[in-house]
Amino acid sequence: MNWNREPRTWLAIVGMLLLWASAFAGIRAGMRLTPAGAVGADGFGPGELALLRFGTASLALALYALATRMRLPERSELPIIGLTGFLGISVYHTALNYGEVTVQAGAASLLISAAPVFTALLSVAFLQERLTRIGWAGSLLAFAGVALIALSGGKGLHFTPGALLILLSATVAAVYSILSKRILRRHGALEFTCYTIWAGTLPLLVFLPGLVRQLPAAAPPATLAVVYLGLFPAALAYLLWNYALARMPLSLLASFLYLSPVLASLIAWVWLGELPVLLTIIGGGIAILGVVLVQTKGYAQEKT
């Protein structure tokens, strides 16, 4: 399939990026983080937020699956699907939420942007994909652009122990993508999205007692923010990601994730009134240039 000429693939990528970029603001709104970085009394804890988010996504996808009589996976596939959901949903989002409590936004965006680098390395090792020298140079250029965005907060980069959790998220995101690419050869994007989100939600039930306590005290905007996270940056965005992943090389698709901090800055400008500073604009331009290099000159041989 000539993925680079298929409009639906590009629309899926654009939609996925916009939704995932909006998730950072949604997470902070759901936890009601104070200026000091503490979870608000009328917000959700990091684990409880993850459970409510993916519980919402699981319910929405289950209703669709029942209405369409979607087929279930084979019993022999359950271990790999369970592992994929555990890493990509349970571990990734729990670590990310806990990390965002103590890690500055700039530092968090820089650490998460290591995921495309890890993904490209694993794609070479396990999927026999191969970036050209220009492709690797473009990846480094995009990463440098993200670093400028991270530094543009004005306070520099200050890493806390929570930074290790953010780095863990970036690592498991790369492993999740490799496992997903293999499973998507046997299942459609919608089926796979349902399977992994359901599998990833089950371990999050460990936070159910806390969620039951926090729901009555949560501010309505916090609850609405988490429901939004479940329906759109979770269920819909993962579906769009898997749709594109089934149709193009993983290393190229992952390079688009460098644009997430750029879009997040634009969303914060429109949504929260946070004007981007000059360094953010410059960093965004450099990141975009790096992604363009990867997409136009970065892939040596197509193997999907």
**Residue-level pLDDT at 148:** 77
**Domain range annotation of the chain:** 15-28+41-297
Instruction: Per residue of the chain (304 residues), give pLDDT as tens.
Output: 455 558 899 999 999 999 998 887 788 889 987 766 678 889 999 999 999 999 999 999 999 999 999 998 999 999 999 999 999 999 999 998 888 777 765 566 667 777 888 888 888 777 877 778 887 888 888 888 777 776 765 555 556 677 788 889 989 999 999 999 989 988 999 999 999 999 999 999 999 999 999 999 999 999 999 999 999 999 999 999 999 999 888 888 888 888 887 887 777 677 656 667 777 778 778 878 888 887 777 666 544 4
The CA dihedral of 82, 121, 112, 23, to the nearest 10 degrees, is: -50
User: In the prediction, which pLDDT does 123 show?
Assistant: 84
296 Cβ contact list (under 8 Å, min separation 6) = none
